[in-house]
A and B are shown apart, each in its own frame.
Chain A
Amino acid sequence: MAQFRSKEKKTPPAISTQSLPDIIFMLIFFFMVSTTMRESTLLVKKPHLPRATEHVTLEKKSLVSNIYISAPSLQYQKLYGTQPVIQLNEAIEDVSKIAKFVELEKESMPANDRSQMIVSLKVDSKAKMGIVTDVKQELRKANALKISYSVVPKN
């Protein structure tokens, strides 16, 4: 009976890697479709957004400009303190710079989209309304009236 069992130990056949590129391509396409490009590096701490149920999704990314309001990240705290500050594009700026920021953002859009510009306010939930109100007043002066308070969906 022993001759049925072969003498040398059988090695399992290697897993075929022929379909590996296909699988990886599938993953690539998944990431290309479901993600968006990272816009700007944050100089402030990532805002801990408030939670809300009645949110809408901002469809047209090209119309949206972001304003971050949050405490400066650790390496900038010596310079700006620990109270929430405003980040426009790639720099921490004063409230008075918002008008200029809106103007520049509008210029980068196609002319017939400019009136539909949306400013997305990404504000840390710990921030006080004072700074938010100042930003809103500046936005009104700059005639950027469509705003969205960025939130995290609840349930």
Chain B
Amino acid sequence: MADISFMLLIFFLVATTMDTDKGLFRMLPPYQDPTEQQEDIKVLDKNLFVVLVNKDDKLMVEKKPMNFRELRKSCKEFLLNMNNDESDKRYPGYTEESIPGIGKVKVTKAIVSIQNDRSTSYEKYIEVQNEIIAAYNEVKDVYSLKYFKKPFKDLKENQQDIIKQIIPQKISEAEPKNIGGK
């Protein structure tokens, strides 16, 4: 009996692996044929939070060089502040939307745009993605504490959907191009 079970045990030890797959989940935009004329969607400059990563893994955020450690904070600030004043270039605009269960709330028009070079290292790219997603998650927590008095992960599924409507996660990745040569 013990011999048979030992044999089975060794089989499972050899044939299986322990690692579970964890990852940053993203949706890609559908493919657009570059030969077809596409109507450019106009996005106001002030609604965009532009993150550039160059070939030396250096960051440029909103046309200014930025230390990597400040990225999350400044992205969070961008997502939480909004005004519809055209002259204010720092923060994005918003739309008033009535959401069932809460009422009228301001929904930010913010879009985070990440652009990278072909020579950017994958490690840096993931770090930037991670910081942006972290900023969104922190903002979600801010809103869920405000409306439901609980952190986002403790909310029920329909409550999570409401929060997701208040702060839609819009991360745009530009079509690949070479910034600053090979």
Show the binding face of A for B, using Cβ within 8 Å: 17, 20-21, 24-25, 27-28, 31-32, 34-38, 50, 52-58, 61, 64, 118, 120-121, 123-130, 132-133, 136-137, 139-141, 143-153
Contact = CB atoms under 8 A, between A and B. Distances in A.
Interface residues of B, number: 42
Interface string B1-40: 1100110110011011111111111111111000000000
Interface stretch (B73-81, B86-94, B118-126): B118-126
B134 interface: yes
B176 interface: yes
A56 B22 CA distance: 6
Given A37-B17, A128-B120, A151-B130, 19 more contacts: A21-B1, A21-B2, A24-B9, A28-B8, A36-B19, A52-B127, A54-B137, A56-B22, A56-B24, A57-B20, A58-B25, A61-B21, A120-B21, A128-B118, A129-B117, A129-B120, A145-B30, A148-B24, A152-B22
A108 to B, nearest CB: 18
B12 A35 contact: yes
Secondary structure type dominating chain A contacts: mixed
A54 B176 contact: no
Contacts, number: 146
A61 B126 CA distance: 23
A61 B125 CA distance: 26
B116 interface: yes
21 contacts: A24-B9, A37-B17, A50-B126, A52-B127, A53-B130, A54-B130, A56-B22, A56-B23, A56-B24, A58-B22, A125-B123, A126-B123, A127-B121, A140-B28, A143-B30, A143-B31, A145-B28, A146-B27, A149-B126, A151-B23, A151-B24
A34 B16 CA distance: 9
Interface string B104-130: 000000000000111111110111011
